[in-house]
Structure 1
Amino acid sequence: MKTQTDQISTSEKSRVDELPARGSLHTDQFQSSDILTDSKVEVTETILNDHSPSTACSNSDQATAPEKPRIKIYKRRWYILALFSLMAGLQAGVWNQWGPIARTTERMYGWTDSDIALLANWGPIMFLPSCLAWSWLLDTKGLRPTCLLASALIALGTGFRCITQSQPTFTWLVHVGHILNGLAGPVGKGGVAKLSAVWFPRQERTTSTTIGFVVIGLGLGLTFLVGPLLVPEIETPQNNGTVSSLENVTISATEGWNTTEADAVIEQRRIISFYLYGTFGVCALLFIMMCVYFPNSPPHPPSVSASRARMDYVSGLKHLGRKRRFWQTAGAYGLSTGTRDVWGFAMLDVNLKAHGISQADAGWLGFYGFLAAAATGIIVGRFADRFQRRLRLILVLLDVLALLSFLWMILLILNIIPRTKEELYAANIVKSVVNGADSPLFFELVCEVSYPVAEGITNLSLTAFNNVASLIFLGLLSIRNIGTVWMNWFLIAAFSVSILLLVLLGEGKKRSDVDVEEIKSDEEN
């Protein structure tokens, strides 16, 4: 006697045998569903529970359809973003550590403006030969090994600077440290949009990318605050030249330096050592924390587009090379942000020094600017998440406002407009407000226009344009006796061309279209 289950199984088998005869499903199509083990189990369970042949047939048909990915959002995504952002912020802060205290270090170690420019230039110099390797590692091996290696390089680079302060060894160790830190730069700046795509849903991607860039900005801003506060300018007799080593302090003291001045130099060196040791300690601690927990990806994707396969590395690279919209977006990003980053961060003190603005005032200008950028960056990023299909328009408006604010600040710096400290601070804050969110929006826009190329190669290729522009800018500054006035008009020209490229950027299919189409399909069903 057959059991009820046997009867249902027999009924189901007979229905499946009839399918080819009806012409509704080919035999090879049905056999291909054998790999869907989970779907077959679900069909059997439904049959046994419902005892309905019609339900069984319906579920069998569904088993042959492509299975939708399971979408899940994890709370731990914010912790992962925090660790990554801290790593990126530290890398940026180490890159900019000497610029805000340029006047003191030039006198202490016998450096020049060209030496400060070279230290900053190691970032773009080391970016270019390592960019492709980092993008390959990020797209093929994932976030964890890439970020651990980058964090290790930052910690190692800051550690080298703590070995000794004896000249000329100290100067060489500082350069080695900046080379190692520069090698980690592509990950710090180019990896945040990749992390957003892997861990965050569509409606949070721009916000999370913006948070990463805000922390980078805060890392840069802290160097403008902490550097001049810890290492203030020192007054030395003008006829004694610069002090290049601890041994020279004793000699100089016998040639006109009084004991107080010699002690001040020794104290400054001690403070700089404390500054460097503290930086190394924070970088080493972060590396340990990332070793303990920093997974490659969540167990389930946060969006439909995150679950879709991307082009392989070589195909993606070739696709970017042929894509005109990528070149326009990358060119606009590189020209505007590459020159802006050098003008406003690494060389701000050098530029302002030539116009009688003190190191302390330059430091406060930089710090207040970053606070303003952090506050507005997150707001604009959240707004852009709600209007993802209007990223290009938002960027055009931001760049136009940035151009006007930079022009205002430059006219004040050059004293073409009568300058007061209050006006200079106001111009800098306005400039920082409108510049606070453009970088993350560029990264999200280039991911949109380059899809389905993987985010790693897309973002690091974009960052390469930023570093090429920075390299050219700093390379020109390394020419002795070139001055600093040209820096201001170079910046204005770069933003003007960037705006033109964005205005001419055409429309096309975007990454967000995949998520929007899926949402519409679910609503219709």
Structure 2
Amino acid sequence: MSAQDEARGSDWYPAPLGEYAQLPQDDSCSTLEPSEQLFPLMETKLYKRRWVMLFIFSLYSMSNAFMWLQYGIINDIFMRFYSIDTLAIDWLSMIYFLTYIPFILPVMWLLDNRGIRDVVVVGSALNCIGAWIKTSTADPNMFAMTFFGQFVCSVATVHILGIPSRLASLWFGQQEVSTACSIGVLGNQLGIAIGFLVPPILVPNVDDVSELANHIRIMFYISAGVATLIFVLVVIVFQEKPELPPTQAEAQARNIPPEEYSYMASILRLLSNKPFMLLVVSYGLNVGCFYAVSTLLNRMIIEHYPGEEVNAGRIGLTIVIAGMVGSLICGIWLDKTKTYKQTTLVVYLLSLIGMLIYAFTLNLGHLWVVFVTAGVLGFFMTGYLPLGFEFAVELTYPESEGTSSGLLNCSAQIFGIIFTICQGKIIDKWGTLAGNIFLCVFLLIGSVLTGFIKADLRRQKVNHQTDVQTVSVSTSPHIVVERRGVRNHCGSGLNELLWPASLQSSCCDAWLHTSLARESKGLHRKLLTH
């Protein structure tokens, strides 16, 4: 032990992180800010089974989305079968929107306090129960019971829509999180696509009521069988989260002590976040328009092309398949560029343009034109869905992804109900062109609101600071220790330090990781203020 070490005493140890200071700017080659150099490094790992979790969730979401549209795309057939009017059949779709509003807060609480597995298990169970209830309703006098079965399935939807961004953050790395979120949304879109395509095939427009009831019963039993299989898969295979976090941002989120987290305080912070609230409104306008178009598509097509129920389903399929491609491309683009606001704004404007083109070409009398314009509309309008989720996570980190996604979807359901009812009334009185122009006005408003969103990418800031710090620490760590009025440097001048000789060779490794780990709790919140 050197004379300097003996003078300091045998009980010498590195100071706590709170006592560290920075070197003067001219004494360090690091370009990091103080808060960035003090960021705690955590062990991260990507697990192959993350893709299994995403696949199972996508199947569950697909099954539920199919049951949303299995009535609406053949609404004229169900209106005749149950002897009901257009508004009643529209409510079989709109019940999904209405149910979401009162149930989203308890489901978000469940997600934050019990975890993603419990939410997915409960949701898939409800989806299965609702599907089996509907198997007994293939009778003209059973509309009330089929509505109840649809209501149970709609409660399951509340356990779905906020999951993709949360699942992506829990399991996927920084360079794939947006793609994973897009795939999660894509599962829902695939269910909508099947909902557009399959019901017109399984339930043809026949005059014999008993034959029609048999076709409806077959469709309901297929839905119930698939929902049951998916429920079993969820219970057996689906997991809460990996042992090690996939990213530094997720690692920091895990370090928040449970006693420091307040569900209501989190919601209040989100409601006071102006950029996020602008996104909530603009997201609701865009997705609400998509819900209205999806619900009323059959009515719009049949008005101009009578007897084309099957092609109406195919047009809906075209919208969703194009949207699935758009979702995937947008997710990959975000992972590569991280241009959240720019991409969101461009896709929003293109959704508006696509809606205008669709509105003015629907009545031209050429179905192939409708297929093309509907595909363009779907590519951008559906491609917007994962963009909104991921942009919200960036604006609200480190708040729960489920909470931010839940508020986005709540806005979408509210506007979905309003737009579906209003557009339906406008179509009945003034025709499809007026109804679609009505939606275009609100897409324009949403585009303007998106332009005013301040792109404060908090999650990217944390991940970027960690990446830069890792390079800085491994190449030229300049950290200062202040203790008992003595100033010591861990950097290039190791031989002149007052550190024990035995620690000089490892001060920038062992000390850094142990001391930073002690002080990591809560530090990520302070970083966001810089």
Residue number among 79, 92, 115 corresponding to 2:65 in the alignment: 92
The 8 Å contact of residues 128 and 228 in structure 2, kept in 1 or not, is answered as yes
> 2:181 is matched with which residue?
209
Task: Indicate whether 1:77 and 2:67 are aligned.
Answer: no
Task: Indicate whether 1:305 and 2:295 are aligned.
Answer: no
CA distance in 2, matches of 1:111, 1:430: 34
1:45-194 → structure 2 map (5 Å cutoff): 68-168=41-141, 170-194=142-166
The 8 Å contact of residues 186 and 328 in structure 2, kept in 1 or not, is answered as yes
Q: CA 1:67–1:392 in 2, change beyond 3 Å: closer, same or farther?
A: closer
Task: Indicate whether 1:341 and 2:291 are aligned.
Answer: yes
> 1:501 is matched with which residue?
449
The 8 Å contact of residues 424 and 435 in structure 2, kept in 1 or not, is answered as no
CA distance in 1, matches of 2:194, 2:16: 66
CA distance in 2, matches of 1:88, 1:273: 22
1:426-465 → structure 2 map (5 Å cutoff): 426-465=372-411
SS of residue matched to 1:437: helix
> 2:368 is matched with which residue?
422
Residue number among 209, 224, 234 corresponding to 1:290 in the alignment: 234
Q: CA 1:386–1:20 in 2, change beyond 3 Å: closer, same or farther?
A: farther
> 2:209 is matched with which residue?
265
CA distance in 2, matches of 1:295, 1:25: 40
Residue number among 160, 167, 174 corresponding to 1:195 in the alignment: 167
Residue number among 397, 419, 422 corresponding to 1:473 in the alignment: 419
CA distance in 2, matches of 1:506, 1:67: 28
CA distance in 1, matches of 2:17, 2:214: 80
Task: Indicate whether 1:368 and 2:318 are aligned.
Answer: yes
The 8 Å contact of residues 286 and 381 in structure 2, kept in 1 or not, is answered as no
Q: CA 1:501–1:26 in 2, change beyond 3 Å: closer, same or farther?
A: closer
Q: Give how far 1:20 is off.
A: 8.9
The 8 Å contact of residues 118 and 478 in structure 1, kept in 2 or not, is answered as no
Q: Give how far 1:397 is off.
A: 1.1
Q: What amino acid maps onto 1:445 in structure 2?
A: F
The 8 Å contact of residues 134 and 146 in structure 1, kept in 2 or not, is answered as yes
Q: What amino acid maps onto 1:468 in structure 2?
A: I
SS of residue matched to 1:188: coil
Q: Give how far 1:67 is off.
A: 6.0
The 8 Å contact of residues 342 and 473 in structure 1, kept in 2 or not, is answered as yes
Q: CA 1:284–1:482 in 2, change beyond 3 Å: closer, same or farther?
A: farther
Q: Give how far 1:222 is off.
A: 0.6
Q: CA 1:378–1:183 in 2, change beyond 3 Å: closer, same or farther?
A: same
Q: CA 1:232–1:28 in 2, change beyond 3 Å: closer, same or farther?
A: closer
Deviates more, 1:322-331 or 1:110-119: 110-119
Cα deviation digits, residues 331-363 of structure 1 (max 9, x gap): 1100011122221x1221022222235211211
The 8 Å contact of residues 210 and 381 in structure 1, kept in 2 or not, is answered as yes
SS of residue matched to 1:165: coil
Q: CA 1:153–1:500 in 2, change beyond 3 Å: closer, same or farther?
A: same
TM-score, normalised with respect to structure 1: 0.80
Residue number among 322, 331, 334 corresponding to 2:272 in the alignment: 322
> 1:18 is matched with which residue?
8
Gaps of 5+ in 1: 1-10, 30-64, 235-260
CA distance in 2, matches of 1:352, 1:17: 89
CA distance in 1, matches of 2:272, 2:321: 39
The 8 Å contact of residues 39 and 469 in structure 2, kept in 1 or not, is answered as no
Q: Give how far 1:19 is off.
A: 5.7
TM-score, normalised with respect to structure 2: 0.79
The 8 Å contact of residues 114 and 477 in structure 1, kept in 2 or not, is answered as no
Q: CA 1:68–1:352 in 2, change beyond 3 Å: closer, same or farther?
A: same
The 8 Å contact of residues 155 and 283 in structure 1, kept in 2 or not, is answered as yes
Task: Indicate whether 1:523 and 2:476 are aligned.
Answer: no
The 8 Å contact of residues 68 and 195 in structure 2, kept in 1 or not, is answered as no
> 2:223 is matched with which residue?
279
Cα deviation digits, residues 351-405 of structure 1 (max 9, x gap): 22222352112111111222222223212211111111x1111111111111111
CA distance in 1, matches of 2:137, 2:309: 26
The 8 Å contact of residues 117 and 477 in structure 1, kept in 2 or not, is answered as no
Q: Which one has a bigger Cα radius of gyration?
A: 1
Cα deviation digits, residues 191-238 of structure 1 (max 9, x gap): 11010011111111110111111121110011111111111223xxxx
Q: Give how far 1:292 is off.
A: 0.6
Deviates more, 1:390-399 or 1:306-315: 306-315
Moved over 4 A (4+): 14-17, 19-24, 26-29, 477-484
Q: Give how far 1:507 is off.
A: 2.9
SS of residue matched to 2:301: helix
Q: What amino acid maps onto 1:304 in structure 2?
A: Q
The 8 Å contact of residues 162 and 273 in structure 1, kept in 2 or not, is answered as yes
Q: What amino acid maps onto 1:409 in structure 2?
A: Y
> 1:511 is matched with which residue?
459
Q: CA 1:153–1:354 in 2, change beyond 3 Å: closer, same or farther?
A: same
> 1:51 is matched with which residue?
none
CA distance in 2, matches of 1:26, 1:20: 18
The 8 Å contact of residues 419 and 439 in structure 2, kept in 1 or not, is answered as no
Q: CA 1:179–1:484 in 2, change beyond 3 Å: closer, same or farther?
A: farther
CA distance in 2, matches of 1:26, 1:523: 23
Cα deviation digits, residues 433-458 of structure 1 (max 9, x gap): 22242100100001101112111111
SS of residue matched to 2:161: helix
Q: Give how far 1:90 is off.
A: 1.4
CA distance in 2, matches of 1:512, 1:142: 24
Q: Give how far 1:509 is off.
A: 4.5
CA distance in 1, matches of 2:6, 2:157: 59
Q: CA 1:222–1:513 in 2, change beyond 3 Å: closer, same or farther?
A: same
Q: CA 1:16–1:27 in 2, change beyond 3 Å: closer, same or farther?
A: farther
Q: CA 1:298–1:491 in 2, change beyond 3 Å: closer, same or farther?
A: same
Q: Give how far 1:177 is off.
A: 1.2
CA distance in 2, matches of 1:154, 1:28: 51
> 1:55 is matched with which residue?
none
Cα deviation digits, residues 11-47 of structure 1 (max 9, x gap): 79x9699369989638999xxxxxxxxxxxxxxxxxx
